A = this chain, B = another copy of it.
Amino acid sequence: MSATEEAPLVRLEGVGKRYGNIIALRDIDLEVGASEITCVLGDNGAGKSTLIKIVAGLHRHDEGVFRVEGEKVSFGSPREALERGIATVYQDLAVVPLMPVWRNFFLGSEKRTGAGPFKRLDIPFMRSTAKRELLDMGIDLRDVDQPIGTLSGGERQCVAIARAVYFGAKVLILDEPTAALGVKQAGVVLRYIAQARERGLGVIFISHNPHHAYPVGDRFLLLKRGRTLGYHTKEDISLAELTAEMAGGAELEELAHELESAGVQGAPELREDARDLGVSD
């Protein structure tokens, strides 16, 4: 499947994960090669975040095999993953609320200057870089020294994304990066993802929005209740099919009818919207 003869950057085979007696994942296969975008889609609680946390080194898998560039691994910490060039945007963002924005941006990958015992943080560089990267995303912060906890939800999300994009070397993992974003910012993030592919990175992209996922994705993994519901390449599946498979059947059609019959003003639009959501194609 991969364009090159090399082993894919990340490959999961039959991976499973339990939290105590809660089975979050079972028998999942996944592959991301260089210059490829794999989308993970699925309902709430399907296990998407759990899956990417395994790849990011935050959890260890209990079953199956996890390979990075062909080599069997089991990361003990996210640091190990980072060292192999895997950068992640977590759904809960993983920021330290009381720390300034720029410190959060560079946390764990600080830029330093000077030598020996006088090696110190390159603060002007870090501040200006953080400010610039965010501005590029359309976030004009008042002050990069503001504790990140005082930013709005979307601003925080943008910091996490900008950070991962900045540090991602080989693989970029994005867990619902566009969830809290405005229209403009979401567009920027999609562009980033496409750019990352162009730079030869492998991307794992989680989203609830098929309109965001389909245009950029090369492969689509559909999860349901911790199991694989489908695993498609782009050629195998159309946007409409994908959306239908994500939404899980006839319920939305029903909803649209219901709203319309209730005489909700604007229901035609919602109906249209429901169609977008994959009910009728």
Inter-chain contacts of A152 with B (CB < 8 A)? 44-46, 48-49
Segment 17-56 of A: residues with Cβ below 8 Å from B: 19, 22, 42-46, 48-49
Segment 261-279 of A: residues with Cβ below 8 Å from B: 262, 264-267, 269-270, 273-274, 276-278
* Distance in Å: Cβ of A104 to nearest Cβ of chain B: 16
A165 proximal to B (CB < 8 A): no
Query: Ordered nearest first, which 7 A-B pairs have the shortest CB separation?
Result: A44-B154, A215-B270, A215-B266, A215-B269, A183-B247, A45-B152, A179-B179
A185 proximal to B (CB < 8 A): yes
In the complex, besides A194-B259, A211-B273, A216-B264, 13 extra interface pairs with C-beta distance below 8 angstroms are: A43-B154, A44-B153, A44-B181, A45-B152, A48-B152, A183-B243, A183-B246, A184-B248, A191-B255, A197-B264, A215-B267, A217-B266, A276-B276
Contact A187 B255 (CB under 8 A): yes
Contact A239 B269 (CB under 8 A): yes
Interface residues on A, range: 35 or more
Q: CA A113 – CA B104 in complex, angstroms?
A: 48
Q: CA A171 – CA B181 in complex, angstroms?
A: 25
Contact of A151 among B45, B138, B186 (CB under 8 A): B45
Q: CA A123 – CA B235 in complex, angstroms?
A: 52
A91 proximal to B (CB < 8 A): yes
Given contacts A44-B155, A152-B45, A182-B246, contact A187 B252 (CB under 8 A): yes
Binding site for B on A (CB under 8 A): 19, 22, 42-46, 48-49, 91-92, 138-139, 142, 146, 150-155, 157-158, 176, 179-188, 190-191, 194, 197-198, 208, 210-212, 214-218, 234, 239, 243, 246-248, 251-252, 255, 258-259, 262, 264-267, 269-270, 273-274, 276-278
Contact A91 B234 (CB under 8 A): no
In the complex, 21 of the A-B residue pairs with CB atoms within 8 angstroms, ordered by the A residue number, are A42-B182, A43-B154, A44-B180, A44-B181, A91-B180, A153-B179, A176-B180, A183-B208, A183-B243, A183-B246, A183-B247, A184-B252, A187-B277, A190-B270, A198-B262, A214-B269, A215-B259, A215-B267, A215-B270, A234-B266, A239-B269
